[in-house]
Amino acid sequence: MMNEFRLPTSAVSRRQVLLGGMAVLGAAALAGCAGPAQASGRSQLKFWHLLSGGDGVKMQGLIDEANAASDTYRVAPTVLAWGTPYYTKLAMASAGGKAPDVAIMHATRVAGYAPGGLVDPWDLDELAALGVDQNTFPERIWEKGFSGDQLYSVALDAHPFILMYNTDICDQAGLLGSNGQLNPIDSPDAFLDAARAVNGVTGTQALAYGYLGDGAQMWRLFYTLYSQQGATMTVTPGQKMEYEEDAAVTALEYMQALLDGTIANPQSDYPSAVAEFATGEAGMFLTGVWELPTMQQNEVPFDASPIPTLFGTPASYADSHSFVLPHQDSPDPAKRKAVYQFVADLLTSSFAWAEAGHVPAYLPVTESPDYADLEPQAHYAAAADNIVYDPPAWFTGSGSNFQADFGQAIQPALLGGEDAAGAFRSFVDRVNTLLSSPNPVNPEGGV
Amino acid sequence: MTTLVGSDLDAAERDVEPTKAPRRGSSHRPGEKPFGVGRIIAFAVLALLALGWLLPFLWAVDTAFKTETDAASAPSWIPSEGFTTQAFEAILSQGNVPTWAFNSLITSVAITLITLVISSLAAYAFSRLEFAGRRWLFVLIIASIIVPPQVLMIPLYYEMLTFRMVDTYWGLILPQVVIPAMVFILKKFFDNVPIELEEAARMDGANRLRVFWSVVLPLSRPILASVAIFVFITAWNNFLWPFLVINDTSLMTLPIGLQTVISAYGVQYAQLMAQAVLAALPLVVVFLIFQRQVIKGVATSGFGGQ
Amino acid sequence: MTATTAAQGDRSVALAGVAGHDAAASRSGRRRRDNLVGWGFVAPFLVFFVLFLIWPILFGIYLSFTDQSLAGTGGNLVGFANYAEALSDPIMWRSFGNTVWFTVVSTVPLVLIALIMALLVDQGLPGQWLWRLSFFMPFLLASTVASQIWVWIYNPQLGIANAVIGALGMEPVAWLQDADTALYAIIVQTVWWTIGFNFLLYLAALQNIPPQHYEAASIDGAGKWRQLWSITLPQLGPTTVLIVILQILASLKLFDQVYQMLGGVSSPTTRSVVLYIFESGFTGYRFGYSAAISYVFFAIIIIISVAQYPITRRRRAS
């Protein structure tokens, strides 16, 4: 009809051709992307994780190996920015019903996903058939995967907060024992003394600890020091937060004492702390196990130990990278089956994951003689025996608002020397507000 | 992004053609010397400002052509390992950026075409046709210009969940084609198209659709180009809605992919900047070629820009 | 407006009722056809308009009275509980405060610097093409790109911002990590990114000032500065009002830069209203509450939009 009309100029018809072409192109693209490409008979698995840097490289290696060895699946990983952006996107993808087939989630975050149906439970029998059951995990770590009587997350590791130390510098400072490892430090003052000795060697500072703008980093050290005093923390929606104020203030004041500009640099954010230790500006490093590969690459002469028990009770903040099944409206059974196989494959090959610094959760790996020989991993593996996870609630866990709120309340005290007790109280107020507001994951109540 | 303030009607019509040769430079003004001290100072200030505005971009480009080692060293314009295209090669070989660029192109073109078609049809009706309810409908559409898209974040997302359009091209495209301000701008233009031409065509027995297609649209090329350029730029750059509705990395547009997906290998500054430069390149090239049309498109259609 | 044709149409429709029977029949037939054609033209837009604008607005109001969650749970009507909570939520008010502060602090340079740029470029100095490119190009960048460039500039160890202030003998600053500087760092980025649009409006307004004004003034012996104060700036008045209003409305919607530059983590000193809407809904899962904040925000936008109308009208009339 348009063609028979007489007015169109050549310009108009040229545009018609152009528009028509674009429309066809658009339609083709829309049609082409309707279904996932099926390259071969293998299931294409979408796998989301938040591991970057040293961890990311290692995870990529594990995935590549698993892909190469498997004829049932091919895993395509996507890495999202760690923390809130990752968890927000994962929740949105699960709510949308077309979530990735499998994802990594911190064990402490599952409480915010499972009750709302954002993750699907694992089938215990199917896991057991692949050699994954409660006998192959440390009890605490296995239990952490449950919400009610359903298993929602299968842990790959435990990754505690530890102390790395430069063996050259600490040797000069006279802190090493005959075995070449750090002499036991068992009191707050002893640690300060040790740090000052390190400072005497480096001349710049003793301890690398990056925390600026990083609530998680502040929380990790705080919760370690807090728990070392035997103190506990409970957050139950509908009730006030239960905590021990003296222990909290002691922990915070101790952190203030460390960040005095000579022991640790109060202007340090996470990457600068990594750089401080990697370049030898600092002789000790409060960090997660995941920075191990970075230091090995930088050929820093170093060893590591659990955070010294300064306040009597051994405790180390930790979390676990765990596998979850993000909710899908209609999961493809073949893909689900392939996911179980993939997870089992990664667990059994998680010795390589230990090379990334983490303590593997799968007991057949950590009980192997190879692992006992692995240094410095074996020197801090004991930290996994005394791990403390975040107090469980829908809003707590790694990369949560809980940790971000903690950082926002506490940073002024650490950076500007404001009153520790006041800073902690403002954190408590914030948590109490969250506890009194309705639980959006499970409006009927519960954590 | 596209909110237009209801009362800026006169401004919206204004013809902006700054690329015209400076027709009123000071040399044209009586009583002024062409090369006075004032002009030298003005030139210096202008040059300084321009440098300030170009520097961030130049620094990004500079970084993009460094090795990762140089990028992660102390800031320097001249890298110790020399300039290289490694970062670009790495980005392009990973596959994500080309995929996102393709998604950006397809969805932006689709949004532009659909917006042009539906908005110009509606604008023509409001300008020329008589039908019951015409006036209140037009008022409703104009009033809706003040609705900030941000307010729709939650209900629109919920609607997409219901329609199962989360993580689809359609979910990305369709909500972006409703730009009431474009109806308004096109109507204002059609109002000023001489009606005689249409009447002549109607005498020849052409129906409304033919008149619209073959008489009005060809006469409206300038405004259609302006609207198209503006809608395309807006769609190409849009962040909030695509960010909400797309989780699947293979469906992401460039701005979303760049923001959301990171490298497993850690922060690689040269590659980050190479991505940023690549994402900016198409619009910069378009701008360099069509400077006048782009400026006009943004100025006529772009009120409430960011 | 060429509403005359339509107005005539309406009048003829009204008259049809009292006209003779035959005439009425043919009139109503024509009228039906006109309606059909008119609505036919409007229909495609209308479908999308209703589906993706009108319906979400109405549905959002409903959501704001429920405890709907992202996870699909909830959905019970809770009355005004969300609104009551929002109005007594210190975080919401703080984020409003931040947004207003951002608006105030960013609008000043965005207007003044744009004006200076336009005045200078309008002098007809050589390099017109380059000036326009420099000032306007950032506006064409996606927010993500503009943010990533500045995150790199602000990098505490490797960024040029600290290199520059280091060269001036100052201590390095953790621009985006420090809660005291983050919002200002974002404002600088925003000025860089969006000033091109204001610059453009000013330049267009300057070029629309009739040259006769200047000729008359210079015959009266007015110098260049006098001309600036007595002719140019007053003539730019309406444009300035327009720019300020557009700036306010745009700044209140602050989201992209804050979300992107702070990596999706907000703090009490940087959280904007829209960011809080996003966080409540998608990070905190609380759709109902998030919708309630959206409508509080919407109400404020409407008030400002309506309030600016008489101001611009008056400016234009004078």
Q: For C146-170, how does the pLDDT look when each residue is reduced to its tens digit (9 = 90+)?
A: 999 999 999 988 889 999 999 898 8
For residue A93, which amino acid is it?
Answer: A
**Strand-pair partners of A151:** A146
Residues A173 and A276 in one domain: yes
Give the rounded distance of the alpha carbon of A415 from its chain centre. Answer: 25
Q: Is A364 on the interface with B (CB under 8 A)?
A: no
Residues C149 and C24 in one domain: no
**Cβ–Cβ < 8 Å for C240, C198:** no
Instruction: Answer whether A442 sits within 8 Å of C264, measured CB to CB.
Output: no
**What average pLDDT does the segment A248-271 reach?**
92
Write the CA distances from A354 to A47, A375, C70, integer angstroms: 20, 10, 36
Question: Which residues, other chains included, contact A311 with Cβ-Cβ below 8 Å and sequence gap of 6+?
Answer: A188, A225, A228, A229, A230, A250
Write the CATH number for C95: 1.10.3720.10
Is A281 inside any structural domain?
A: yes
Q: Is C163 on the interface with B (CB under 8 A)?
A: yes
**Cβ–Cβ < 8 Å for A380, A308:** no
Predicted local distance difference test score (pLDDT) of residue C317: 57
Predicted local distance difference test score (pLDDT) of residue B20: 40
Is A170 inside any structural domain?
A: yes
**What average pLDDT does the segment A303-311 reach?**
96
**Cβ–Cβ < 8 Å for A300, A277:** yes
The Cα of B230 is separated from the nearest Cα of chain A by a number of Å equal to: 18
Is A12 inside any structural domain?
A: no
Predicted local distance difference test score (pLDDT) of residue C20: 52
Residues A150 and A165 in one domain: no
Please determine, for residue A2, whether its predicted confidence score (pLDDT) is greater than 50. Answer: no
**Among A268-282, C8-22, C87-101, which stretch is predicted with the lowest mean pLDDT?**
C8-22
**Among C23-27, C100-104, C113-117, which stretch is predicted with the lowest mean pLDDT?**
C23-27
d(C-alpha B1, C-alpha B4), whole Å: 9
Is A34 inside any structural domain?
A: no
Q: When comparing pLDDT for C286 and A10, which is higher?
A: C286
CB pairs under 8 A, 24+ apart, for B196-200?
Answer: B198/B128
Peptide bond into A376 cis (omega under 30): yes
DSSP state at residue C170: P
Residues C17 and C113 in one domain: no
Tens of pLDDT, residue by residue over C169-217, are 888 888 998 888 999 999 999 999 999 999 999 998 898 888 888 888 8
Predicted local distance difference test score (pLDDT) of residue A251: 96
**What average pLDDT does the segment C94-120 reach?**
95
Residues C34 and C104 in one domain: no
**Cβ–Cβ < 8 Å for A280, A202:** yes
d(C-alpha C216, C-alpha C63), whole Å: 62
- pLDDT tier at A38 (50, 70, 90 boundaries)? very low
Please determine, for residue B14, whether its predicted confidence score (pLDDT) is greater than 50. Answer: no
Predicted local distance difference test score (pLDDT) of residue A6: 31
**What average pLDDT does the segment B232-240 reach?**
93
Is C146 inside any structural domain?
A: yes
Predicted local distance difference test score (pLDDT) of residue B12: 37
**What average pLDDT does the segment C113-124 reach?**
92
Q: Please tell me whether residue A374 adopts helix, strand or coil conformation.
A: coil
Predicted local distance difference test score (pLDDT) of residue A107: 95
Is B37 inside any structural domain?
A: no
Instruction: Answer whether C172 sits within 8 Å of A267, measured CB to CB.
Output: yes
Mutation target vs C (from B131, B170, B179, B263; most C CBs, 10 A cutoff): B131
**Among A423-427, B97-101, B204-208, B295-299, which stretch is predicted with the lowest mean pLDDT?**
B295-299
Which A residues 95-114 touch B at CB under 8 Å? 95-99
**What average pLDDT does the segment A216-221 reach?**
95
- pLDDT tier at A20 (50, 70, 90 boundaries)? very low
Write the CA distances from A70 to A44, A66, A74, A202, A434, integer angstroms: 12, 6, 8, 50, 45
Residues of the domain holding C156: 89-317
Length of chain A (residues): 447
Instruction: Answer whether C214 sits within 8 Å of B43, measured CB to CB.
Output: no
Assigned token pair, C309: 């109308």
Measured between beta carbons, the chain B residues lying within 8 angstroms of C308 are: 5, 7
Instruction: Answer whether C160 sits within 8 Å of B75, measured CB to CB.
Output: yes
Cα angle for residues B255, B178, C238 (degrees, 5° grid): 85
Tens of pLDDT, residue by residue over C290-304, are 999 999 999 999 998
Predicted local distance difference test score (pLDDT) of residue B116: 96
Assigned token pair, A395: 């809003």
Predicted local distance difference test score (pLDDT) of residue B290: 82
Write the CATH number for A131: 3.40.190.10
Residues of the domain holding B183: 9-31+87-301
As for how many domains chain B has, the answer is 1
Please determine, for residue B200, whether its predicted confidence score (pLDDT) is greater than 60. Answer: yes
Helices marked H in C122-181: 128-136, 143-154, 160-167
Radius of gyration (C-alpha) of chain C in whole angstroms:
27
Q: Is B27 on the interface with A (CB under 8 A)?
A: no
Residues A232 and A276 in one domain: yes
As for how many domains chain C has, the answer is 2
- What's the number of CA atoms in the CB half-sphere (13 Å) around residue B215? 20
Is C297 inside any structural domain?
A: yes
Query: Please, is A39 exposed, middle or buried when counting C-beta atoms within 10 Å of its C-beta (0-12, 13-18, 19+)?
Result: exposed
Q: When comparing pLDDT for C75 and A422, which is higher?
A: A422
Predicted local distance difference test score (pLDDT) of residue B7: 33
- The pLDDT mean for chain A works out to 87
DSSP state at residue A110: G
Predicted local distance difference test score (pLDDT) of residue A18: 43
Is C206 inside any structural domain?
A: yes
Query: Token match 């200030």: residue?
Result: B45
Query: Token match 């989201």: residue?
Result: C255
Tens of pLDDT, residue by residue over A378-419, are 999 888 888 999 999 888 998 888 898 899 899 999 988 889
**Cβ–Cβ < 8 Å for C290, C280:** yes
Q: Which of A81, B266, C98, A398 is nearest to A407 (CA)?
A: A398
For residue B37, which amino acid is it?
Answer: V
**Cβ–Cβ < 8 Å for C171, C230:** no
**Cβ–Cβ < 8 Å for C45, B183:** yes
Residues A80 and A219 in one domain: no
Is B48 inside any structural domain?
A: no
- pLDDT tier at B11 (50, 70, 90 boundaries)? very low
d(C-alpha B63, C-alpha C159), whole Å: 11
DSSP state at residue A184: P
Residues C239 and C123 in one domain: yes
**Strand-pair partners of A46:** A76
ipTM associated with this complex: 0.85
Predicted local distance difference test score (pLDDT) of residue C22: 61
Residues C236 and C103 in one domain: yes
Which B residues 119-148 touch A at CB under 8 Å? none
Residues A166 and A234 in one domain: yes
Report if pTM > 0.80.
Answer: yes
Q: Which of A97, A25, A7, A63 is nearest to A343 (CA)?
A: A63
Closest partner CB to B210 (pick from A5, A33, A54): A5
A374: left (phi over 0), alpha (psi -120 to 50) or beta: beta
d(C-alpha C228, C-alpha B250), whole Å: 55
For residue A174, which amino acid is it?
Answer: G
**What average pLDDT does the segment C46-70 reach?**
95
Please determine, for residue A28, whether its predicted confidence score (pLDDT) is greater than 80. Answer: no
Is B289 inside any structural domain?
A: yes
Instruction: Answer whether A79 sits within 8 Å of B261, measured CB to CB.
Output: yes
Residues A122 and A261 in one domain: no
Predicted local distance difference test score (pLDDT) of residue A285: 96
Q: Which chains touch A (3 or more CB pairs under 8 A)?
A: B, C
Predicted local distance difference test score (pLDDT) of residue A184: 92
Instruction: Answer whether A443 sits within 8 Å of C177, measured CB to CB.
Output: no
Please determine, for residue A195, whether its predicted confidence score (pLDDT) is greater than 90. Answer: yes
Residues C199 and C260 in one domain: yes
Q: Is A23 on the interface with B (CB under 8 A)?
A: yes
Percent residues over pLDDT 90 in chain B? 51
Is A53 inside any structural domain?
A: yes
Please determine, for residue B130, whether its predicted confidence score (pLDDT) is greater than 80. Answer: yes
Q: Which of B57, A232, B174, A236 is nearest to C45 (CA)?
A: B174
Mutation target vs B (from C10, C107, C132, C148; most B CBs, 10 A cutoff): C148
Is B36 inside any structural domain?
A: no
Instruction: Answer whether C143 sits within 8 Å of B180, measured CB to CB.
Output: no
Is B243 inside any structural domain?
A: yes
Question: Which residues, other chains included, contact C202 with Cβ-Cβ below 8 Å and sequence gap of 6+?
Answer: C114, C115, C117, C118, C119, C236, C239, C243
Please determine, for residue C96, whether its predicted confidence score (pLDDT) is greater than 50. Answer: yes
Assigned token pair, A447: 């954590």
Measured between beta carbons, the chain B residues lying within 8 angstroms of A25 are: 106, 109
d(C-alpha C111, C-alpha C243), whole Å: 7
Tens of pLDDT, residue by residue over C218-266, are 787 777 788 888 888 888 988 899 899 889 989 999 999 999 999 887 7
Residues C302 and C164 in one domain: yes
Residues C138 and C260 in one domain: yes
Assigned token pair, B261: 């997906």
Please determine, for residue A22, whether its predicted confidence score (pLDDT) is greater than 60. Answer: no
DSSP state at residue A312: S
For the beta carbon of residue C180, count every other beta carbon within 10 angstroms: 12
The Cα of C291 is separated from the nearest Cα of chain B by a number of Å equal to: 6
Assigned token pair, B234: 């807006």
Tens of pLDDT, residue by residue over A141-191, are 999 999 889 999 999 999 999 999 999 999 999 999 999 999 999 999 999
Predicted local distance difference test score (pLDDT) of residue C110: 96
As for how many domains chain A has, the answer is 2
**What average pLDDT does the segment B94-109 reach?**
92
Which B residues 98-137 touch C at CB under 8 Å? 114, 117-119, 121-122, 124-135, 137
- Comparing alpha-carbon positions, the chain A residue that sits nearest to C75 is A443
**Strand-pair partners of B273:** none
Is C68 inside any structural domain?
A: no
User: Chains A and C: how many Cβ contacts under 8 Å?
Assistant: 92
d(C-alpha B68, C-alpha B75), whole Å: 12
**Cβ–Cβ < 8 Å for A317, A219:** yes
The most distant pair of C-alpha atoms in chain B lies apart, rounded to whole Å, by 75
Q: Please tell me whether residue C15 adopts helix, strand or coil conformation.
A: helix
Instruction: Answer whether C156 sits within 8 Å of A272, measured CB to CB.
Output: yes
- The pLDDT mean for chain C works out to 86
Assigned token pair, A10: 């050549």
Predicted local distance difference test score (pLDDT) of residue C82: 94
Is B193 inside any structural domain?
A: yes
Three-state SS across chain B?
CCCCCCCCHHHHHCCCCCCCCCCCCHHHCCCCCCCCHHHHHHHHHHHHHHHHHHHHHHHHHHHHCCCHHHHCCCCCCCCCCCCCCHHHHHHHHHCHHHHHHHHHHHHHHHHHHHHHHHHHHHHHHHHHCCCCCHHHHHHHHHHHHHCCHHHHHHHHHHHHHHCCCCCCHHHHHHHHHCCHHHHHHHHHHHHCCCHHHHHHHHHCCCCHHHHHHHHHHHHCHHHHHHHHHHHHHHHHHCCHHHHHHCCCHHHCCHHHHHHHECCCCCCCHHHHHHHHHHHHHHHHHHHHHCHHHHHHHHHHHCCCCC
Residues of the domain holding A115: 43-158+320-385
Is B132 inside any structural domain?
A: yes
Residues A299 and A415 in one domain: yes
Measured between beta carbons, the chain C residues lying within 8 angstroms of B10 are: 316
- pLDDT tier at A4 (50, 70, 90 boundaries)? very low
Instruction: Answer whether C48 sits within 8 Å of B118, measured CB to CB.
Output: yes
**Cβ–Cβ < 8 Å for B243, A88:** no
Question: Which residues, other chains included, contact B276 with Cβ-Cβ below 8 Å and sequence gap of 6+?
Answer: B60, B64, B258, C144, C145, C148, C149
Residues C150 and C236 in one domain: yes
Residues C241 and C104 in one domain: yes
Tens of pLDDT, residue by residue over B27-48, are 344 444 456 788 888 899 999 9
Tens of pLDDT, residue by residue over A346-369, are 999 999 999 889 999 999 999 999
The Cα of B154 is separated from the nearest Cα of chain A by a number of Å equal to: 12
**Cβ–Cβ < 8 Å for B233, B283:** yes
Q: Is B236 on the interface with C (CB under 8 A)?
A: yes
**Cβ–Cβ < 8 Å for C246, B304:** yes
d(C-alpha B153, C-alpha B164), whole Å: 16
